[in-house]
Structure 1
Amino acid sequence: MTSTGEERDGMGRDGPWWWERRRSAALDVGLGVVSAAECAVEGVPFAHEAGIPVALGVLFGIVVGATLVLRRRWPIAVVLVAIAVTPAAMGFLLAVVGLYTLASSDVPRRITATLASMSLAGTFVVMYMRTRGDVEADGTLVIVLSVFVAVALTVPPVLLGLYIGARRRLMESLHERADSLERELSLLADRAEERAEWARTEERTRIAREMHDVVAHRVSLMVVHAAALQAVAAKDPVKAVRNAALVGDMGRQALTELREMLGVLRAESPKPASASLARPALVGIFEDGPSIGELEALVGQSRTAGMVVELDVRGECPDYPAEVEQTAYRVVQEALTNCHKHAPGAKVVVRLAHRDAEVAMQVENGPCDGKAAEPGLPSGGNGLVGMRERVLGLGGVFVSGSTEDGGFKVSAVLPRER
C-alpha cells in the first residue's frame, strides 16, 4: 500500500526546530554530547600547549564539540569549525561527522570539494608537524604516515556522505514519480468513470429512442383504428370487423418488435459499461431491424388507417449499411406518426431519393383538414429530437419546419458510408 506525498510529509514532520523527526534530534544531541566530551578531554593538552588555564581549555573544547548538534542546519559552519580547531588537535569526531553531513546534504559539490580539500590539507599539516619530531625516521615515512591519517579521516566520510546523499535524492525522486503516477492513475480512473457514465447515458438514450420508435407508430395507428372502429361499429359492422383485425395485427407487430429488441438486450453479457460497449449493445437491433425496402408496407399501414399518403421513390436502391437502413426507416416512421398525431386528414407526401453516396428522404404534409377530429394521441415532444439524434449520429443532415401553405416538412440526408 503506497502513501501520497502529502501523507509522507505529514508523517515525517514531528521533530522540534529544524529536525524532521524526533529520533534525528536525539541522534544529533547524542553526537554533540560525545563530541563535546571528546573535545573537553583534548582541551587539557591544548591548554598546556597554549599556556592558558585548563578550565578555559576544557570549556573551549565543550563549546567546539557541541557545535556538532547544528550539523543538519549549518553543515558548512560545522566543517569550518572543525578545520579551524585542527591545529589544536581536537574535534576528530566533529570533523568526520561534519564532512559526512556536508557531503550528504544539498550543498553544491564545489563547496563540498573545497572544504574537504581544506580539511585534508589541514589534517596533513598538523599530523606532519606533530609526528616529525616523534618518529625517528626519514621524512618520507613521516609524509606517508601523515597522508594516510589525513586521507583516512577525510576521504571515507566524504565518499559515504556522497553515496547516502545520492541514494536519498534517488528515493525522493522515486517517491515523487510514484506520487505523480498515482495522481495520473486517479485522473485516468476519474476519466474512465466519466466515459463509462457517458456510455451508459448514451446507451439508455439509444434504447429509449428505439422503444419510442417501435411503440409510438404502432400504438398511434392502433388508436386511429380504434377511433374509426368506435365510429363505424353500429353503422358498418363489416368495416368495424376489418378495423378490429387491423388493430390486432398492429398490436402483434408492436409486441414482436419489442420482443426482438428485448431479446437482443438480454443476450448481451453483463459487462461494465464503457465507451467501447456503448454501440455494440445495440448491434443486433440494427442487424435485425427494419430496412428501406419495408417503407412501402409502412406507408400502406398509414393508408389503411385513412391517411392519404403518396410515396415517391427515385433511383435504384443499393446496399446500405444496417444503421443507414434502419435510420431512414425510423425517420419516415416517426414523421408519419407525427402526421397522425398533429395533421389528421392532411395529405402526406413521402419522397425517397437514392444517390451515389447518400440517401435523402422527405416527409411533407399539407395543412390539416378542419373536418378531421384530433385523435387525442399524447406527445412527449421527443420525436423530432430522436430523429435529429439518429441522423446526426451517422454524420447526416436533418431539417424540419413549417411550410408556406401551413403544413410541416421533415427532411434528412444520410451518407452511404461514414
Structure 2
Amino acid sequence: MPDYGVFDDFSCGARRAKAQGKSFALARTLGAMTVTGADQEATGLTSRGWWWWERRRSAVLDVSLGVFSALECALEGVNFAGDAGIAVPAGVVLGLVAGASLVLRRRWPIAVVLVSIAVTPASMGFLLSVVGLYTLAASDVPRRITAALAGMSVAGTFIVTFVRMHQSVARGDYDPGLWYVPLVSVVMSLGITGPPLLYGLYIGARRRLMESLRERADSLERELSLLADRAEERAEWARTEERTRIAREMHDVVAHRVSLMVVHAAALQAVARKDPEKAVRNAALVGDMGRQALTELREMLGVLRADQQSVAVRLDPVPLAAVGAAAAAAAAAVEEGPCLADIEALVGQSREAGMVVELLVQGEARGCDALVEQTAYRVVQEALTNVHKHAAGAKVRVRLAYRAAEVAMQVENGPADGVTADAGLPSGGNGLVGMRERVLALGGVFVSGVTEEGGFRVSAVLPDASE
C-alpha cells in the first residue's frame, strides 16, 4: 500500500508555497518605492492633475528647487546686466526664466542641462547646473548623450573660469605663474560638474537595480503561485487515486469471499434437511471464508493505520525510526499478500462452492514481482467472482502461462446452465474497471468481452521485471 504521508506533504507544500508567495508579495510591496492606485486616490494624485510627477512630494520638491533656482539666477542676473550693459529688469527676467526651468528637470532633463550650459557665460545658474546634471545622469537618457552634455558643461565651466581667473590675475599686482590659472580652472570645472554627475549615475544604477529586483520578485511570486496551484492539483489527484485504490482493494477482498459465502449459504439452505453431513461441510466452508475475509481486512486496515502513524511521525522530527518502521510495515504487507501459488487454492474454493473449474498452467512456475503476483491473483479472483454473480452453473476454464518476461492469465466461462439457481448477488459494476486499472498501472494489457458461445472471457498480460 502507498504511503499517505506523501500526499499530505503535497498539501502542506501547497500551503507553504502559498504562504511564502503572500509573504514575498507583502515584503515586495512594503519595500518597493512605488505608489499604488489607492495611495494616489488618497493623496489626490493623478497623472492628469499633476502632469508628469508620480508623487505629490516630487512635485513639491521640483517646484521648490525651481523657486530657489529662479531667485538665485535673478540675483545673479543683476550683476550680469551691469557687466553686459543691459537693463537690470532684463537681466532679472532672464535669470527668473532660466532658473525656473529647473521645474522641468524630470520631464526634460536634457533641456535643463542645455539651459544651464547656455547661462554659464553669464555666471548664473549654479543650482540649476548641479541639479540638472544629477537628474540627467540619474535618468534613462542614453549614456552617449549624457557624456556629451557633461563634456559641454565641463568645457563651458572651464572656459568661463579660465577667463575670469585670467582677468583677476591681470588686474592684480602679483604673478602666480602660468600653471595657476589652468589648474584652478580644471579643479573648478571638475568640482562643479563631477560630484552631481557621479552621484546621479549611482542613483540611476540603484534605481534600475531596484526595478530589476522588483520584476524578479513579481516573476518569483507568479512562479510560487503556479507551484502552489500545481501542488494542490497533485495532492488532489493523489488523494483521488488513493481513494480509488482503497476502494478497489476492499472490493477485491470482500466481494469474492462474501460471494462464495452467499453461494455456500444458499447450498446449505438447500441441503440442510436432505444431507446434514454436506450441510455441516458447507457451514464449515462459510466459516473458513469469513475468517479469511476478516484476516485480509485486518491486514489492510493495519497498513492504513501504519500509514497514518507515518503521517503523525512526520510532524515530529525526532522519532525517525518510527517512520522506517511504518514504511517497513507497508512493504511487508505487500510482500505477504496473495501470490500466484495461491491461485490453485482460489480455484479449489470455487469448486467447493459447486462451480466446475478447470485450471491449466503453461510454462515453468517461477517467482515474480510481488505486485505482479498480487495483480494476477486479483484478476483471477475477480473473474471467478463475476462468474458466481452472473453465470451461475457455468463451466469455467482458468489458464495461467509463464512466458519470457511476462505472465499471462485468462478466465473464460460458458453460458449459464439455467438450472443452478441464481444466488441474487448484487453487482456494483466496478469489477472489470478495477481489473483494468490494476493491469494498466503495471504497464500490462487487459481485454474482456463476450465469447461466441455466449460466455465471457477475461484476459490479461503482465510484464515481469524480475525475469
How far, CA to CA, are the matches of 2:351 and 2:128 in structure 1? 106
Partner of residue 53, structure 2: 19
CA contact (8 A) 1:286 1:323 kept: yes
Shift of 1:186: 2.2
Instruction: Give yes or no for the alignment of 1:392 onto 2:432.
Output: no
How far, CA to CA, are the matches of 2:229 and 2:275 in structure 1? 66
Instruction: Give yes or no for the alignment of 1:143 onto 2:177.
Output: no
Partner of residue 211, structure 2: 172
Alignment of 1:349-368 (within 5 A): 349-368=397-416
How far, CA to CA, are the matches of 2:129 and 2:35 in structure 1? 33
Of the three residues 312, 318, 322, the one matched with 2:360 is 312
Q: Percent identity?
A: 73
How far, CA to CA, are the matches of 1:64 and 1:234 in structure 2? 124
Alignment of 1:182-197 (within 5 A): 182-197=221-236
Instruction: Give yes or no for the alignment of 1:91 onto 2:113.
Output: no
CA contact (8 A) 2:448 2:457 kept: yes
Instruction: Give yes or no for the alignment of 1:133 onto 2:155.
Output: no
CA contact (8 A) 2:161 2:185 kept: yes
Partner of residue 46, structure 1: 80
CA contact (8 A) 1:132 1:139 kept: no
Shift of 1:52: 2.8
Shift of 1:21: 2.2
How far, CA to CA, are the matches of 1:156 and 1:86 in structure 2? 18
Secondary structure class of the residue paired with 2:36 = helix
Partner of residue 413, structure 1: 461
Secondary structure class of the residue paired with 1:2 = helix
Partner of residue 221, structure 1: 260
Structure 1 stretch displaced more, 118-127 or 333-342: 118-127
Residue deviations 1:317-344, cap 9 Å, x none?
1121110110000000000000000110
Structure 2 residue ranges without an equivalent (≥5): 1-22, 313-326
Structure 1 stretch displaced more, 170-179 or 257-266: 170-179
Change (3 A) 1:193 1:283: farther
Change (3 A) 1:40 1:280: farther
Instruction: Give yes or no for the alignment of 1:209 onto 2:248.
Output: yes
CA contact (8 A) 2:306 2:330 kept: no
RMSD: 2.1
Alignment of 1:240-251 (within 5 A): 240-251=279-290
How far, CA to CA, are the matches of 1:96 and 1:397 in structure 2? 82
Partner of residue 202, structure 2: 163
Letter in 1 for 2:297: L
Secondary structure class of the residue paired with 2:358 = strand
Alignment of 1:216-365 (within 5 A): 216-268=255-307, 269-271=309-311, 283-365=331-413
How far, CA to CA, are the matches of 2:111 and 2:230 in structure 1? 52
Change (3 A) 1:270 1:21: farther
Structure 1 stretches of at least 4 aligned residues deviating more than 4 Å after TM superposition: 4-10, 279-282
Secondary structure class of the residue paired with 1:271 = helix
Shift of 1:196: 1.8
Letter in 2 for 1:112: T
Partner of residue 198, structure 1: 237
Letter in 2 for 1:380: G
How far, CA to CA, are the matches of 1:210 and 1:382 in structure 2? 12
Shift of 1:286: 2.0
Letter in 2 for 1:117: G
Shift of 1:280: 9.4
Residue deviations 1:287-345, cap 9 Å, x none?
12101001111001101111000000112211211101100000000000000001101
Residue deviations 1:328-384, cap 9 Å, x none?
000000000000001101000000011121111000001111122221111111101
TM-score by length of 1: 0.94
Shift of 1:229: 1.7
CA contact (8 A) 2:25 2:221 kept: no
Secondary structure class of the residue paired with 1:106 = coil
CA contact (8 A) 1:33 1:65 kept: yes
How far, CA to CA, are the matches of 2:329 and 2:126 in structure 1? 78
Shift of 1:66: 1.2
Structure 1 stretch displaced more, 234-243 or 83-92: 234-243
How far, CA to CA, are the matches of 1:192 and 1:389 in structure 2? 24
